[in-house]
Amino acid sequence: MNDFSKQRIINVLAPLTGLALLIGLWSIVSLTSTNNFPSPKDTLLQAIEVFKDPFYSNGPNDQGVGWNVLSSLKRVGVGFGLAALVGIPMGFVIGRFDFMSRMFNPLISLLRPVSPLAWLPIGLLVFKGANPAAIWTIFICSIWPMIINTAVGVQRVPQDYMNVARVLNLSEWKIIRTILFPAVLPYMLTGVRLAVGTAWLVIVAAEMLTGGVGIGFWVWDEWNNLNVKNIIIAIFVIGIVGLILEYALIKIATAFTYEEVKS
Amino acid sequence: MSESVNTKYLEIQHVAQTFKTAKGNFPALRNINLTVAKGEFVALIGHSGCGKSTLLNLIAGLTIPTQGHLICANREISGPGPERAVVFQNHSLLPWLTCFENVYLGVERVFGRNNLVDRKTKEDKAQLIARTQAALEMVGLSQAAQKRPGEISGGMKQRVGIARALAMEPQVLLMDEPFGALDALTRAKLQDELLTIVANTQSTVVMVTHDVDEAVLLSDKIVMMTNGPSATIGEVLKVNLPRPRSRVALADDTAYLGYRKAVIDFLYTRQVHVEKV
């Protein structure tokens, strides 16, 4: 057997072993548990049932898993989009002007470590509604990585490029368009990726608190119904959607990262 | 243009440069006086750390001197500008633009808008494209126009850098060890190309180098600098070799060898380089 095929077997075998380990542990827990912890098999059968009709709707409190995921994604999309609209230009300004950086850095350092859920009551107070409050929470948690990464990217634009801009005497707008933006894009996309990851973590918690339609609310609702199988299904759905978001953004980031200039 | 402007096209008067560092002030250059005539090719040579690049950055306007004045075509240099184009040591092409776009960036800036100073009206897009193509053709890179810098060799990148600078039709071309990072054969080829281009364009050139042969082969005047800190001009050597110059013919030319010996004497006998830790 050559090294290449050996490597291929390892590539397939290792993840499968990990998966088998998870299912094994899960089976042991469900066999030894006294409080009806569902087995992997029961959960799979239930999952097939759930995914047979993911888009049914029996009123606001009983909708298919598809609707729940979609409305969570919609909240993340709106909150995240607003955060990008505000955060990315702000990152540019902070990175470009020393005064702005000194002005905003203490505020960012103070507010960034705060758990996004702590902002939920403020959102409820100001926006007087569960849905805008959840979007507000997503906005707050996803804005920090975008501001910080964009600002760092702007500060790390190689001095050589800026010297080119100075020798050519380019206008500030032209500098932003042809030098800063492409140079900062990889950093910005890292910020976007971190922000989406956090946003997807936070939306579940936020929806548990606010209710309505959404994957987080679904988890909480099934807990109230004591339907543990659906909770486990929800965990897998949340994980898989998060994985897809992450993967898509990594793909976008690599497409926009240019080979570093080497002399 | 009057005679004095032609002989004193670029004038450096009592220039000193001190950098503020964490360990206090660092005097890089002191008492630099130099004049460059229009169309002259000047090489700045010296050991590393002698402030050659610092002086070039001052002429480029990227830094402002602590003392003294730099004057170009009767105007004081107060900042960088496209009339003093720079070929950077590491070419500094923008990796997300094609070779064409990199050159076009400079062409568009210089010729794509109304120039109130020389009363030139802006050129249309076709003219700008033609200028860009001509510049790439001059350095022999028409074929690579649509490639990105990441896809071409180091020598080709450096040639795009030269094309970008030349396409702006600068009054002064500033080159900071433009061939330093290249292998000996590519370097020789580009030096020959540069000789031809400069002969055709009659450009005024200031070039930083640490290569003795390069300095003698290319320049009309070699400015030899003393070791830093507080470096200054040690000696100025006029190179009176007829042009066009041929590397092969000059290889055993006594005048050429004499100039070469003079530079080597200066660098290795009178200014022995001591590397400080």
At A174, which CATH number?
Answer: 1.10.3720.10
- Per-residue pLDDT, averaged over A174-189, amounts to 88
Q: Over the stretch B132-167, which tens digit does the pLDDT of each residue have?
A: 999 898 888 889 999 999 889 888 898 899 889 888
B150/chain A closest Cα distance in angstroms = 6
Q: Over the stretch A57-90, which tens digit does the pLDDT of each residue have?
A: 777 667 788 888 898 999 999 999 999 999 999 9
**Contact at CB, B109 and A163, closer than 8 angstroms:** no
Q: Considering only alpha carbons, which residue of chain B is nearest residue A263?
A: B90
Q: What is the mean pLDDT of chain A?
A: 87
Best mutation target among B109, B147, B151 (most A Cβ atoms within 10 Å) is B109
- Chain A contact present for B60, CB below 8 A: yes
Q: Is the pTM of this model over 0.95?
A: no
Q: Is residue B190 over pLDDT 90?
A: no
A51-65, B72-86, B194-208, B220-234: which has the minimum mean pLDDT?
A: A51-65
User: A140 and A79, same structural domain?
Assistant: yes
Q: Over the stretch B259-268, which tens digit does the pLDDT of each residue have?
A: 999 999 998 8
Between A33 and B43, the higher pLDDT residue: B43
Q: Which residues in B lie closer than 8 A to residue A260 (C-beta atoms)? A: 95
Q: Which pLDDT does position A263 carry in this prediction?
A: 29
User: A228 and A173, same structural domain?
Assistant: yes
**Rounded CA gap, B225 and B144, in Å?**
38
**Contact at CB, B109 and A170, closer than 8 angstroms:** yes
- Per-residue pLDDT, averaged over B109-136, amounts to 81
| Residue A9: inside a domain | yes
User: A22 and A57, same structural domain?
Assistant: no
**Contact at CB, B85 and A260, closer than 8 angstroms:** no
For B6, other C-beta atoms within 10 Å of its C-beta total 12
Q: Which residues in B lie closer than 8 A to residue A182 (C-beta atoms)? A: 94, 96
Q: Which pLDDT does position B275 carry in this prediction?
A: 58
Residue A33: give the domain boundaries. 1-37
- Chain A contact present for B149, CB below 8 A: yes
| Residue A263: inside a domain | no
User: A176 and A100, same structural domain?
Assistant: yes
Q: Which pLDDT does position A25 carry in this prediction?
A: 92
AA identity, residue B127: Q
Confidence of residue B1 (pLDDT cuts 50, 70, 90): very low
Long-range contact pairs involving B110-113 (C-beta distance under 8 Å, separation at least 24): B110/B82, B110/B168, B110/B169
What angle (nearest 5°) sits at the alpha carbon of residue A71, between those of residues A142 and A203? 35
- The DSSP-derived string for A223-247 is HHTT-HHHHHHHHHHHHHHHHHHHH
Q: Over the stretch B200-227, which tens digit does the pLDDT of each residue have?
A: 888 899 999 989 999 999 999 999 999 8
- Per-residue pLDDT, averaged over A111-137, amounts to 90
Q: Considering only alpha carbons, which residue of chain A is nearest residue B91?
A: A263
User: A209 and A116, same structural domain?
Assistant: yes
A191-195, B1-5, B203-207: which has the minimum mean pLDDT?
A: B1-5
Q: Which two tokens stand for residue A160?
A: 């050589």
User: A49 and A91, same structural domain?
Assistant: yes
**Contact at CB, A166 and B79, closer than 8 angstroms:** yes
